[in-house]
Amino acid sequence: MVKRSVLALLADERVAQVRVAVSPSDTLAADVLAGLPRTLVRHCGGQTRDETVLQALQDAALGPEDWVLVHDAARPGLPPDALGRLLDACLLSNQGGLLAMPVADTVKQASPGPAGSHLVSATVPRDTLWLAQTPQMFKAGELIEALMQSRVSGVKVTDEASAMEAAGYCPMLVQGSWRNAKVTLPDDFSWVESWL
């Protein structure tokens, strides 16, 4: 899955380098990714997503105006056209952004029910709701600063865009793809494998 995620990024020549941040104790990634062009495995991963991203950015020693893409290894189905849309949109507007999908389903808010069940407490209007995906693209200096600010202020960072939002930025939403789904639950493996 990691290899497919890296290959998805390498499909666009504008991606100068893919740096795969793994745990200091990881012994598999280097072998799995051996021989891929423009790809480095870096043993600089942290305990959390935001710590891993921050340490990977610091390890890369980029200039503050350099653009970075942060992508989940658990999203091996990133289509080239979705990646291209994100790169085009961010570079053209000189603004950070992320791939996302508008919510299509009716959204229910839950409250605790009897015996560990959940009850509907409200229907949430979905007109302005989007599901965040990766890659997320920002300038390295701004993202590093946002991640550091979030750690100091105790803001819970669920993705890079949430750190940027907490720092006062308004990331751009760029149409993603359902094929760019995140493999999270056991059933997801068979679903993604069926079209990979």
Per residue in 172-190, pLDDT tens? 999 999 999 898 777 777 7
Residue 94: inside a domain, yes or no? Answer: yes
Angle between helices 49-60 and 140-153 (to 10 degrees): 140
Q: Is 177 exposed, middle or buried (0-12, 13-18, 19+ CB in 10 A)?
A: middle
Residue 155: inside a domain, yes or no? Answer: yes
Smallest CA-to-CA distance from 135 within 18, 13, 34, 1 is with 18
Whether the CB-CB separation of 168 and 96 falls below 8 Å is answered with: no
The per-residue pLDDT for 187 is 76
pTM value is 0.92
The per-residue pLDDT for 195 is 65
Residue 117: inside a domain, yes or no? Answer: no
Per-residue pLDDT of the chain (196 residues; tens, 9 = 90+): 899 999 999 999 999 999 999 999 999 999 999 999 999 999 999 999 999 999 999 999 999 999 999 999 999 999 999 999 999 999 999 999 999 999 999 999 999 999 999 999 999 999 999 999 999 999 999 999 999 999 999 999 999 999 999 999 999 999 999 999 898 777 777 766 766 6
Residue 73 CA, distance from chain mean position: 9
The per-residue pLDDT for 17 is 98
Residue 116: inside a domain, yes or no? Answer: no
CATH of the domain at 154: 3.90.550.10
How many independent structural domains does the chain possess?
1
Residue 122: inside a domain, yes or no? Answer: no
The per-residue pLDDT for 196 is 66
Domain region containing 178: 2-100+129-195
Residue 151: inside a domain, yes or no? Answer: yes
The per-residue pLDDT for 186 is 76
